[in-house]
Chain A
Amino acid sequence: MVSTAPVAPIQVERVTKVYDRKVRALSEVSFALQPGDRTCLLGPNGAGKTTLIRLLAGALGPTEGVVRLFGEDVSGPRFLDAKRRVGIVPQGPGMYRELTAGEYLDWVRRIYRRGEVARVVEAFGLGEFLHRRMAQLSGGTQRRLSLAAALLSDPELLLLDEPTAGMDPLVTREVHGYLREAMRNRTVLLCTHNLEEAEALGESVIILRSGRMLVHERIEVLRNQSRPAVLLRALSVDPLLAALQTAGIAFTRAGDQARIPVDAPEQEVPPLLRRLLGAGVEVIECRIVRPTLEELFVDAVVGNNHGP
């Protein structure tokens, strides 16, 4: 019986990458992305994110394990066929001094053997830059050109390696707008340092630290697994903190607020508020918060610091 299950766009099985027999960049990393997954690859500097992207691009070979794109091994003879289904935005690429933006896009179209230059030129607002040399474009326009080149062939899988690194907030916002459009109905692996970006654009995360995969989970699931907290603010912070201490309630101070982890806010918060008001604390704000991706990330990375 022939299986009709769609082939996973990305399969990484027990992949280890060691540079020069000394530097271990990745250790036994395994995961798979299914069609339509939008996953963010997170990790501190040196975690192995770029190594992983380069392995997926076929630029590096794994020391151990298997990397497959659409079922094709990166070292196999049909890997280029699989790579034609992928658009890659590299991290801060250089730009050719001798080629114009228009020539470059046309060249990329011929490499992929498909695509419509006019469509991406319009989508990314590149019309007025087509006759400019690539190296003469501004940083934001260069990034748009990289995105346009990656999307020219209408790829099924998009690999984005820190697409907004080094961009100012305005350009970052502009690029996020383009990314939201580009990521629709595609499988995406977005490698980023920017946790707000990951939260805004991704549905699940892979967290790497020191070459090991710590987490691969949907952001929503991670949130549900972690404890919510109640944020309290009073007219004066000192009486609030003193009252919490007297009551033996665990809290952390966050500026002029107290953050109290709770398991069931609906049950625990009303008696807590009654108690504080009874103690004469003038509470002026009470807010239930779910942990941000940044907090989940810090928990995962710092909480696993005892690892190798």
Chain B
Amino acid sequence: MRWWGTTMGPELGVLLSKEWRQLLRNKTAVATALFLPMLVMMVVPAMQLFAARSGQAGRLPPGLNLPPALEKALLDPYAMLLALLPLMVSLGGLLGPAVTAIHTVLAERESRTLELLVALPVRMGQVLAAKLLVLVVLNCALCGVMLAVDGAVLLSLGLAGPGLVAALFLLLFCSTSFSSALALLVAVLARDQRSANNLNGVFVLPIILGSLAISVGGSLLLGSATLATLVLAGCFGVGGVLAAWVASRAGTFERLLR
């Protein structure tokens, strides 16, 4: 509770305004936050939808059979779209903020602006919390617009109900929070931006594979994309809280000043 009290002090709001201003003026950060999520949340689902509507989906080369549990994807042309949608939303949350999160922490150290923060009456935990909140808000806002378009299309075509769309928004928030917190933790522990990006890549790859398993397995095997989405959101939510807590403990001025 003491940690919560000292981190959530009035300084947090002031630090948020600084981070927000810096992030929005950093065109590279905004472009990074837009590009990959746009690819996975707009382009890929659009292509899948186009393939399903044109009858191209579910066609396999002659002699190639899917395992029995996945045969539903052949019978229902929209099944694979719905099965992969939680994964795509997860990717939108995972890929967007990670690079920016690492940059915002390590740039403070490498350009020696950390010295300015050390001089002020703020705690490093508050600095990290401000960076985390700004990244989550920015990524959720940008990806939220894309997801709103996806959701509107799914609802208008009758492919998904409001429950699944709401669950996808929750998943976007949780995956963004997890990714941002993990990247901040990695940035706190790493020596420089290159090693931080490499280390983050090592963590993210198995997470993507796990997300694929839950997304496709949950949707096709359990028959509920909503359930798969909620399970994924729960995993990311727990992981995000854990990563944020560890980052706030490990993220001290002493560590970053070395």
A residues with a Cβ closer than 8 A to B are 19, 54, 57-61, 77, 80, 83-84, 86, 88-99, 103, 107-108, 110-113, 146, 149-150
Contact assessment for A110 and B111 in the assembled complex, using a CB-CB cutoff below 8 Å: no
Number of A-B pairs whose CB atoms are under 8 Å?
81
Contact assessment for A54 and B121 in the assembled complex, using a CB-CB cutoff below 8 Å: no
List chain B residues, Cβ under 8 A from A89. Answer: 119
List chain B residues, Cβ under 8 A from A95. Answer: 111, 113
Whether B18 sits at the interface, judged by CB under 8 Å, is: yes
Shortest Cβ distance from B25 into A: residue: A98
Contact assessment for A90 and B115 in the assembled complex, using a CB-CB cutoff below 8 Å: yes
**Partner-contacting stretch, out of B9-17, B89-97, B243-251:** B9-17
Whether B78 sits at the interface, judged by CB under 8 Å, is: no
Whether B59 sits at the interface, judged by CB under 8 Å, is: no
Contact assessment for B119 and A90 in the assembled complex, using a CB-CB cutoff below 8 Å: yes
Shortest Cβ distance from B123 into A: residue: A80
List chain A residues, Cβ under 8 A from B111. Answer: 94-95, 97
A156 CB to closest chain B CB, in angstroms? Answer: 13
List chain B residues, Cβ under 8 A from A91. Answer: 115
Q: A80-B121, A98-B25, A111-B121 are in contact. Are A93 and B115 (CB under 8 A)?
A: yes
Assembled-state Cα–Cα distance A46/B22 (Å): 35
Report which of A61, A84, A88, A92 forms a contact with B112, defined as CB distance below 8 A: A92
Assembled-state Cα–Cα distance A19/B258 (Å): 9
Contact assessment for B119 and A88 in the assembled complex, using a CB-CB cutoff below 8 Å: yes
B residues with a Cβ closer than 8 A to A are 2, 6, 9-11, 14-15, 17-18, 21-22, 25-26, 111-116, 118-123, 253-254, 257-258
Contact assessment for A83 and B253 in the assembled complex, using a CB-CB cutoff below 8 Å: no
Contact assessment for B257 and A107 in the assembled complex, using a CB-CB cutoff below 8 Å: no
What are 30 A-B interface contacts by the 8 Å CB criterion?
Answer: A19-B258, A58-B253, A60-B254, A61-B254, A80-B11, A80-B122, A88-B118, A88-B120, A90-B115, A91-B115, A92-B112, A93-B113, A93-B119, A94-B115, A95-B111, A96-B116, A97-B111, A98-B26, A99-B21, A99-B22, A107-B14, A107-B17, A107-B18, A108-B120, A110-B14, A111-B11, A111-B15, A112-B121, A149-B116, A150-B119
Contact assessment for B21 and A103 in the assembled complex, using a CB-CB cutoff below 8 Å: yes
List chain B residues, Cβ under 8 A from A108. Answer: 120
Contact assessment for A59 and B253 in the assembled complex, using a CB-CB cutoff below 8 Å: yes
A201 CB to closest chain B CB, in angstroms? Answer: 19
Shortest Cβ distance from B23 into A: residue: A98
Assembled-state Cα–Cα distance A19/B26 (Å): 35
Given contacts A59-B257, A93-B119, 15 further A-B contacts (CB under 8 A): A54-B257, A58-B253, A60-B257, A90-B119, A91-B115, A93-B112, A94-B111, A96-B22, A97-B111, A99-B18, A99-B22, A107-B14, A107-B18, A112-B121, A113-B10
Assembled-state Cα–Cα distance A59/B109 (Å): 13
Q: A59-B254, A111-B122 are in contact. Are A94 and B116 (CB under 8 A)?
A: yes
Contact assessment for A96 and B257 in the assembled complex, using a CB-CB cutoff below 8 Å: no
B18 CB to closest chain A CB, in angstroms? Answer: 5
Q: Which of B14, B115, B118 has the most CB of A within 10 A?
A: B115
A100 CB to closest chain B CB, in angstroms? Answer: 10
List chain A residues, Cβ under 8 A from B9. Answer: 80
Assembled-state Cα–Cα distance A98/B15 (Å): 14
Contact assessment for B253 and A60 in the assembled complex, using a CB-CB cutoff below 8 Å: yes
A97 CB to closest chain B CB, in angstroms? Answer: 8
Assembled-state Cα–Cα distance A98/B24 (Å): 9
Q: A91-B115, A93-B116 are in contact. Are A83 and B18 (CB under 8 A)?
A: no
Assembled-state Cα–Cα distance A107/B15 (Å): 8
Assembled-state Cα–Cα distance A94/B107 (Å): 10
Shortest Cβ distance from A94 into B: residue: B112
List chain A residues, Cβ under 8 A from B122. Answer: 80, 111
Q: A99-B22, A111-B11 are in contact. Are A84 and B115 (CB under 8 A)?
A: no
Q: A94-B115, A99-B22 are in contact. Are A84 and B2 (CB under 8 A)?
A: no
- Nearest 3 interchain pairs by C-beta: A94-B112, A88-B119, A93-B115
Assembled-state Cα–Cα distance A83/B15 (Å): 17
Q: Which of B11, B21, B111, B116 has the most CB of A within 10 A?
A: B116
A192 CB to closest chain B CB, in angstroms? Answer: 17
Contact assessment for B21 and A98 in the assembled complex, using a CB-CB cutoff below 8 Å: yes
Report which of A54, A110, A111, A112 forms a contact with B118, defined as CB distance below 8 A: A54
A155 CB to closest chain B CB, in angstroms? Answer: 10
Assembled-state Cα–Cα distance A90/B118 (Å): 8
B104 CB to closest chain A CB, in angstroms? Answer: 11
List chain A residues, Cβ under 8 A from B2. Answer: 77
A298 CB to closest chain B CB, in angstroms? Answer: 30
List chain A residues, Cβ under 8 A from B119. Answer: 57, 88-90, 93, 149-150
A1 CB to closest chain B CB, in angstroms? Answer: 33
List chain B residues, Cβ under 8 A from A57. Answer: 118-119
Shortest Cβ distance from A82 into B: residue: B121
Shortest Cβ distance from A20 into B: residue: B258
Assembled-state Cα–Cα distance A111/B122 (Å): 8
